Amino acid sequence: MSGRPLAAALAEYLAVRRSLGFKLARDGLLLEQFVSFCEQAGACRVTSELALAWVSAPAKASPGWLAMRLTIVRGFASWLQASDPATEVPPLGWLPPRRRTAPYLYSAGDVAALMAAARRVRWPLSAATYETLIALLAVTGMRIGEAIRLDRSDLSPGEGLLTIAGSKSGTSRQLLLHPSTISALGCYLRRRGELSPVPGEPALFVHPAGNRLNYPAVQQMFRVLLGRAGIRARSERCRPTIHGLRHSFAVSTLIRWYREGADVQARLPQLSTWLGHADPKWTYAYLWASPELLALAAERLEPPPRTRS
């Protein structure tokens, strides 16, 4: 690959990874910026100096954002190095170690407060949309990106199924919903039909203008709802986010299984499939999120008390 234009190498790298199911929308844009940066510097191959200069270019960037940029470049550079040994992979140790953030776990009361805040939103269609969206995220643990990509045709009320197509891992899955969830979605669709200026829009969740919800708008509204619901950060490293609803679902499910005396190890692949994790190891990551969950897991590891003969 020596002497090959970086732009052509990047196109092949993205094509290969996308053929394996990775979407790489953000990664692709950032790597295009990185390759352009290298080309403007007159470089025909990746060097650590160039990579670190590009990674650190954004002013006032958070450590997390810098770490993400470095990870993306390292992946591309490692792939290039297999064909061009002169390629340099920037070192991981260049950035200070990241402090692990603690996921914000919402209580049932928190979710109810968020839904109540959504009901008070000024625009009736937004009120109905965000109340239903928050409830769906809380009871299914689905990703926000999956929820805003849902079409009305993905819901099969008669079968009680919700189809999630094109998830983060590139696969599709079906969720068997509780009858109360199906009923709530049906109520929302009827309300949406009364209020939406674009009744033919295929999206399940829509803005007041009738078009599909988008991530920036949802993030902005969720911050507003957090404030109105009185939900605040518990610490510098534990701040409420919309993704916390997914963490909360996973943790509450695991806690319920432990309390029921279920074989959690045997059931964990079921939760992984439900959440859309490509590997159960990502589901294991939820175990550290709650002291209660850690305590329940530790109890399983303790030997049973000895009985006197």
Helix, strand and coil content of the chain, in percent to the nearest 5, comes to: 60, 5, 35
pLDDT value at residue 96 = 58
Annotated catalytic residue 277: yes
Active-site option among 104, 106, 188, 286: 286
pTM over 0.85? The answer is no
pLDDT value at residue 278 = 75
Active-site option among 17, 74, 243, 258: 243
DSSP assignment of 177-245 equals --HHHHHHHHHHHHHHHHH-S-TT--BSSB-TTSSBP-HHHHHHHHHHHHHHHT---SBTTB---TTHH
Active-site option among 143, 192, 207, 247: 143
Q: What is the DSSP letter of 93?
A: G
279 vs 16, 225, 236, 284, CA distance in Å? 20, 33, 30, 9
pLDDT value at residue 19 = 82
Query: Would you state the CATH architecture of domain 110-212?
Result: Orthogonal Bundle (1.10)
Annotated catalytic residue 286: yes
Cα 190 to Cα 199: distance, rounded to the nearest angstrom: 11
pLDDT value at residue 61 = 78
Active-site option among 69, 192, 246, 247: 246
Active-site option among 168, 191, 228, 239: 168
Give residue 137's Cα distance to chain centre. 11
pLDDT averaged over 10-residue windows placed end to end, the chain, 309 residues: 76 88 88 92 89 86 84 93 90 67 89 98 96 98 94 96 79 92 97 92 94 94 97 88 93 88 85 84 68 65 52
Annotated catalytic residue 258: no
Handedness of CA 291, 114, 152, 244 (dihedral sign): negative
Annotated catalytic residue 207: no
pLDDT tens for 122-164 read 999 999 999 999 999 999 999 999 999 999 999 999 999 999 9
